[in-house]
Amino acid sequence: MLALLLARRGVRVALLEQHRDFDRDFRGDTLHPSVLEILDQLGLVERVLALPHGELRRASVRAPAGDVELGDFSRLHTRYPFIALLPQAEFLPLLVDEARRYPGFTLLMGATVRELLESGGLVQGVRYTVDGQQRELRATLTVGADGRFSVVRRLAGLPVVPFSQPIDVLWFRVPHGANAPELAFGRLGRGHIAVLLPRHDSWQVAWVLPKGGYRRLRAAGLAALRADVAALVPELGDALESALGDWRQVSLLSVEASRARRWYRPGLLLIGDAAHVMSPIGGVGINYAIQDAVVAANVLAAPLHEGRRVPGRGIGTAPLVAIQLRREIPTRLIQTVQHLVQRRLLESVGQDRLGVLPSWLLRTPLLRDLPIRLVAYGLCPPRVAGS
C-alpha cells in the first residue's frame, strides 16, 4: 500500500517481496471500514469488493445468559458499514496491478534482505539475494514493512517492548453451503470461547485458549476438540468432521503484542507489524498497518522528492519522527484496549457470561457505538493526500 501511494505521487519505489507469489494463506483477512474508505479515495473499492469476500455487519456474542450485542456497523456513518473478509492472496495482487500503472514502481519477487547498507549512521539501502545471487539496492529511504518477525527491524537494532498476553488462538475453517445459517460473531459457554468470521465460502473459527493451553488440547485429541466445538456451535454440524480431521488443518497463533520504542533511524522507517505487533482482538492489524502507510505517504512524498535531488543527503529524521508521533498514540490506545478485553474474556470463560463491556454502556446510545467505532476506524483515521 505504501509503495502504491508513493508511486502515484511520482516517487520511485522498489518493493521487495521475499516470496515468489502472493498465494499464501493468511488469518488476518479483514478490511475495516476505514480501509474501505481509503480504497474508495484511491478509486479501488469497487474492484476490491467485486472479489469474492465475506461481510461482517454485526458483532454479537451468544452465551448461556443470553445474547449480547457488541456493535452494529450499520450505525456508523459510512458507505461501507461492515468489515470485509477478503483473502490477501486476492487483495495484494490487485494493489500491485494498480501500482504497476505508475512508471516509478518496481516489484522484486523472491528478494530476501540480508544486510542494511550504511554509511556514517545513515541507512542507504539494502543488500539482498535473489536466486542465490547477492545484489544491492540503494535508496533515499528504506522502509521495513516485513511483519512481526521483521528482519529489517533486527538489522537496524531497533528494540521492541513486549506486552504479556494471556491468550493463544487456534484457527481453523469450517466450509459452509449456500444456505449456511447466520451465526453469532462469538460464542461463549462450557468453559470455551469461539469467534466466527464469515468468509465467502467458509467460517473462519478462532478457538480461544489460555496462554499455553495448546499442549493440553493436543493431548486430548482432535475428537475432543470436535466435540467441544460442536457443543458450543452446533450449527457447524457434520462439517466439523472434515474440517477437523487432521492437525494440519489447525493453525496455532501464539498471541503476541509489542511496540518498537523508536520506529526509525536516519534513512530507515518501520510501519505495520514491524513497528507494532497487534493482538488478534478486533482484527485491527491490517487496519492500522494501512493507516501507517497512508500517514507515511502523506508525510514523505515531498521530502523524498527533495532528497532525490540532493544525492547522499537523505531526508533527515524530522519526517520520520512526525510519522511515529502521529501513529503512536492510536497504536498505544488500541493495544491497551486489546489487553483489557483479553483479560475480561478469560474472566468470562469461568462464569459463562460475557464480561467484556459493562451492561450499562451497551444500553447507552451515546456510548454503545464507541467500541465498534474504535474497531472500525481507530483514533483519527487518516485520508489519502490529494483525494
Instruction: Report domain extents, the chain.
Output: 2-164+259-377, 167-253
- Label the pairing between strands 105-109 and 13-17: parallel
Within a 10 A sphere around the Cβ of 332, how many other Cβ atoms? Answer: 13
69 sits in the region (left: phi over 0; alpha: psi -120 to 50; else beta) called beta
Residue corresponding to grid cell 448461556: 64
pLDDT value for 66: 78
Residue 63: which pLDDT band, with cuts at 50, 70 and 90?
confident
> Nearest Cα to 54, choosing from 235, 201, 183, 196?
201
> Nearest Cα to 295, choosing from 314, 258, 269?
269
pLDDT value for 325: 97
**How far apart (Å, rounded) are the C-alpha atoms in residues 270 and 236?**
41
User: Once rounded to an integer, what is the mean pLDDT over residues 296-316?
Assistant: 81
Q: What is the mean pLDDT of the chain?
A: 89
**How far apart (Å, rounded) are the C-alpha atoms in residues 198 and 46?**
20
Instruction: With a cut of 80, say whether residue 352 has pLDDT above it.
Output: no
Residue corresponding to grid cell 488469518: 27
Please, which residues have CB within 8 angstroms of residue 16's CB and are 6 or more apart in sequence? Answer: 108, 111, 113, 126, 128, 137
| More confident position, 15 or 256 | 15
Residue corresponding to grid cell 472479489: 51
SS3 367: helix
Helices (H), 114-245: 151-156, 214-220, 222-232, 239-243
pTM of the model as a whole:
0.92
The mean-pLDDT minimum among 70-79, 184-193, 306-315 falls in 306-315
Condensed to tens digits (0 to 9), the pLDDT of residues 123-171 reads 999 999 999 999 999 999 999 999 999 999 999 999 999 987 788 899 9
> Nearest Cα to 76, choosing from 282, 369, 378, 382?
369
Helices (H), 29-87: 33-41, 45-49
First to last CA, the chain: 15
Amino acid at 287: N
Q: Residue 363, exposed/middle/buried by CB under 10 A (0-12, 13-18, 19+)? A: exposed
Q: What is the distance of C-alpha 356 from the center of its chain?
A: 22
The mean-pLDDT minimum among 178-182, 233-237, 273-277, 319-323 falls in 178-182
**How far apart (Å, rounded) are the C-alpha atoms in residues 90 and 112?**
23
If you write DSSP's letter for every residue of 151-164 in order, what string do you get? HHHHHHT--EEEE-
**How far apart (Å, rounded) are the C-alpha atoms in residues 323 and 303?**
13
DSSP 8-state class, residue 200: S
DSSP H or E segment with residue 90 = helix 88-99
Instruction: With a cut of 60, say whether residue 177 has pLDDT above it.
Output: yes
**How far apart (Å, rounded) are the C-alpha atoms in residues 258 and 159?**
10
Q: HSE-up of 143 (CA within 13 Å, CB side)?
A: 22
Q: Which fold has domain 2-164+259-377?
A: FAD/NAD(P)-binding domain (3.50.50)
In contact, 22 and 89? CB cutoff 8 Å? yes
> Nearest Cα to 125, choosing from 262, 314, 272?
314
Instruction: With a cut of 80, say whether residue 350 has pLDDT above it.
Output: no
DSSP H or E segment with residue 129 = strand 122-130
Instruction: With a cut of 80, say whether residue 307 has pLDDT above it.
Output: no
Question: How many helices (H) and strands (E) are present in the chain, helices listed first?
Answer: 13, 21
Starting at the edge strand that comes first in sequence, how are the strands of the sheet with 257-260 ordered? 160-163, 257-260, 276-277
Residue 314: which pLDDT band, with cuts at 50, 70 and 90?
confident
